[in-house]
């Protein structure tokens, strides 16, 4: 098991044939800003990103969470299209319980359904289970986000249930949240189904 301090202080670059996940840094801000201005990306999230100031705040929070040891954000580079395509993050990290979440994930609309999500999840899940020796990796989404739920099922996550009145979003809406997970005992079989 990796020392938590080593995890946050190390520049983890995760890569396969389709995607490269780079630790989020200031240099990514301008590259990701045009994508983040696509309002459709934020329709079902707890964050409201309406303008550059909103994204600046979101981006700075992501960097600060790595510094505080609560999250590890990545910029997504799409090797097939030779461009940055979005963001994803390890969050709600609880090394004492060998558990974390994959989330805060968004991709350029043009990349949705292209296979980039599966490529990125493969990298994050492999690293989580094989390198970090986790017992559990969680994913969650709004009950209203049927597209995201379908994507989670498509990559082999198990739907666990709905947490009612789970969150209050930036715009004041009360959100029900659907939880999904992978666990270490099931990961080998799921991993073998990935053709990357």
In this predicted model, what pLDDT tens digit does every residue of 16-30 receive, in sequence order?
999 999 999 999 999
Contact 18, 116 (CB under 8 A): yes
A 10 A CB-CB count for 98 gives 16
Could you say which DSSP state residue 157 is in?
P
For position 184, what pLDDT does the model report? 96
For position 47, what pLDDT does the model report? 86
A 10 A CB-CB count for 72 gives 22
pTM: 0.92
Rg for the chain, CA atoms, rounded: 16
End-to-end CA distance of the chain: 26
Q: State how far Cα 195 lies from the chain centre.
A: 20
- Averages of pLDDT over each 10 residues, the chain, 196 residues: 82 97 98 95 86 96 96 97 96 96 95 91 95 96 91 92 91 91 93 69
For 57-86, what is each residue's pLDDT tens digit?
999 999 999 999 999 999 999 999 999 999
- φ, ψ of residue 71 to 5 degrees: the values are -155, 165
3-state secondary structure of 192: helix
Helix (H) or strand (E) holding 161: strand 158-168
A 10 A CB-CB count for 84 gives 19
Residue range 4-191, CATH number: 3.40.630.30
Report the distance separating Cα 116 and Cα 39, nearest Å: 20
Residues 6+ apart with CB under 8 A from 186: 158
Could you say which DSSP state residue 150 is in?
H
Report the distance separating Cα 13 and Cα 141, nearest Å: 26
For position 1, what pLDDT does the model report? 63
Whose structure tokens read 């990545």? 74
| CA within 13 Å, CB half, 88 | 29
């Amino acid at each position: 098991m990796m020392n938590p301090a080593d995890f946050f202080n190390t520049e983890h670059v995760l890569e396969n044939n389709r995607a490269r996940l780079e630790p989020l840094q200031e240099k990514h801000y301008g590259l990701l800003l045009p994508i983040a201005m696509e309002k459709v990306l934020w329709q079902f999230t707890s964050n409201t990103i309406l303008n550059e100031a909103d994204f600046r705040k979101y981006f700075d929070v992501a960097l600060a969470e790595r510094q505080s040891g609560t999250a590890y954000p990545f910029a997504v580079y799409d090797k097939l299209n030779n461009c940055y395509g979005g963001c994803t993050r390890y969050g709600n990290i609880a090394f004492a319980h060998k558990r974390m979440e994959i989330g805060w994930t968004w991709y350029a609309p043009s990349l949705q359904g292209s296979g980039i999500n599966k490529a990125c999840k493969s990298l994050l899940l492999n690293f989580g289970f094989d390198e970090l020796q986790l017992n559990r990796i969680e994913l969650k989404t709004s009950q209203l986000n049927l597209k995201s739920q379908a994507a989670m099922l498509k990559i082999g996550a198990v739907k666990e249930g709905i947490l009612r009145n789970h969150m209050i979003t930036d715009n004041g809406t009360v959100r029900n949240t659907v939880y999904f997970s992978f666990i270490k005992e099931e990961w080998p079989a799921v991993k073998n189904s990935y053709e990357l």
